[in-house]
Structure 1
Amino acid sequence: MEHMDFANPYFGVFVMFVLTFGAFIAGTSLSRFASHKLARKDTEKLKTTLYECGPEVTKQPNTISVQFYLMALLFILFDVEIIFMFPWAVNFQVLGWFGFVEMILFILLLTIGFIYAWKKGALEWHSIK
C-alpha cells in the first residue's frame, strides 16, 4: 500500500472539499430531521392557503395578445443575428473579400427575413378590444 503524499499542494483543497461536503450533508440532514419533528401536523386548511392583501382574487381571462410574444421572439431573433456582426467588424481586414461577401449574404438573408415578417403582419401591433 502506498503512503499518502501530504506534500501535494492540492491536498489542502481536497481536505476542505471533503469537510465542506460533509458539513453540507450533516446540516441538510439535521435541518430536515428537526423540521419533521418540530412541525405541527394539525394545521387548518385556511392557514395553508395563500394570503394577499385586498379583495378576493378572481380568475380572469387571458388578455395578453399573442402579438406580444411574437414581437418579443422577433426582437430576440434579430438581436442575436445582429450580434454576429460584431466579430466581423473587429476582424474586417483579416477576413478580406471573403468576409465581406459572406457578411453581405448574411445581411441579405437578414433583410429577407425582416421583409417576410413585415409582409406577414408580424410587426403590426393590434389593440385588444
Structure 2
Amino acid sequence: MQEVSQISEFGKILVFLITGFVLTGGLLLLNKLIAPDKPNAEKLSSYECGEEPTGSSWVQLNSRFYVIALIFLLFDVEMVFVFPWATVFGSHELIAQDERWGWLSLAEMFVFMGILILGLIYVWVKGDLEWIKTKVVQPRVQVNIPASVYNKINEISYATIPFSTEEKTENIVVKEASATTVVRKPMFKPTLKKP
C-alpha cells in the first residue's frame, strides 16, 4: 500500500519560507532587545574599507562607473545562458537520440553570441567604453536670444554665501561689477534631522 503524503511539494516550500521568515525576524528582534545601543562618532562615521574617512560621504559618483558596471553585468549574465547551452550541447545522450539537438543548440548560441557581439560593437563605436572622452560635443540649439544677452549674464560676478547653522540677522552685501545690492537672508532656517 502506497502512503499518501500529508503535505504537497508546494506546501513543503511554503513551510520552509515561513520558517525562514520567522527565524530571521526572531533573530533581528532578539538582536534589537539585547544589543547595547551606544552610538559614538566612530560608529556613526562612514566606512571606507578600513581607511580614515575624509570629507563628506555625500559625494557624487562619476557616471562612468555605472556604464562600466552595466556592461560588466551584461557579459556576466551572458554566462548564465552559456552554461545551460554547454550542458545541452555536451550531452551525448540527448544528441544520440536526435542529432538535430546539437545543431539547433549550436545555431541558437551563434545567434545569442552574435547579438551580444553586436551590442559590444555598438557600445564601443559609441565611445562608452572610453574612460576619457576625446571628442567634445558642443550642444547646438535654435534660440531667438542674441549672444550679447548671454555675454552680459556671464560678465556678472556672483558671491557665494558659506552655509552656516548659526542664525544671523544681518543682511548680506553683494558687490557686483556695476552696483552694490543688498540681499535679504531667507526667512527660514533649514533643519537637519539625524537618523
TM-score, normalised to structure 1, is 0.51
1:109 deviation in Å? 1.7
Partner letter of residue 109 of structure 2? I
- RMSD of the TM alignment (CA)? 3.8
Q: 2:44 aligns with which of 31, 50, 67?
A: 50
1:20-35 paired onto structure 2 within 5 Å:
32=33
Which 5+ residue runs of structure 2 have no aligned equivalent?
Answer: 1-21, 47-51, 134-195
What is the deviation of 1:67? 2.1
Which residue in the other structure is 1:4 paired with? none
Q: Does 1:69 align with 2:64?
A: no
Name 1:84's counterpart in structure 2: 84
Identify unmatched segments of 5+ residues in structure 1: 1-20
1:45-84: CA deviation from partner (whole Å, max 9, x where unpaired)? x769713645343532211413212212221232112111
Match of residue 117, structure 1, among 108, 116, 119: 119
**1:101 matched residue in structure 2:** 103
What is the number of equivalent residue pairs in this alignment?
97
Secondary structure at 2:44's aligned position in 1?
coil
Which structure dedicates a bigger proportion of its chain to strand?
A: 2
2:130 equivalent to 1:126: yes
- Structure-1 separation of matches of 2:67 and 2:116: 16
The answer to which structure has the higher helix fraction is 1
**SS at 1:76 equivalent:** helix
Paired residue type of 2:81:
E
| Structure showing greater relative contact order (alpha-carbon pairs closer than 8 Å, 6 or more residues apart) | 1
Highest CA radius of gyration, 1 or 2?
Answer: 2
One-letter code aligned to 2:45: Y
C-alpha displacement at 1:127, in angstroms?
Answer: 0.6
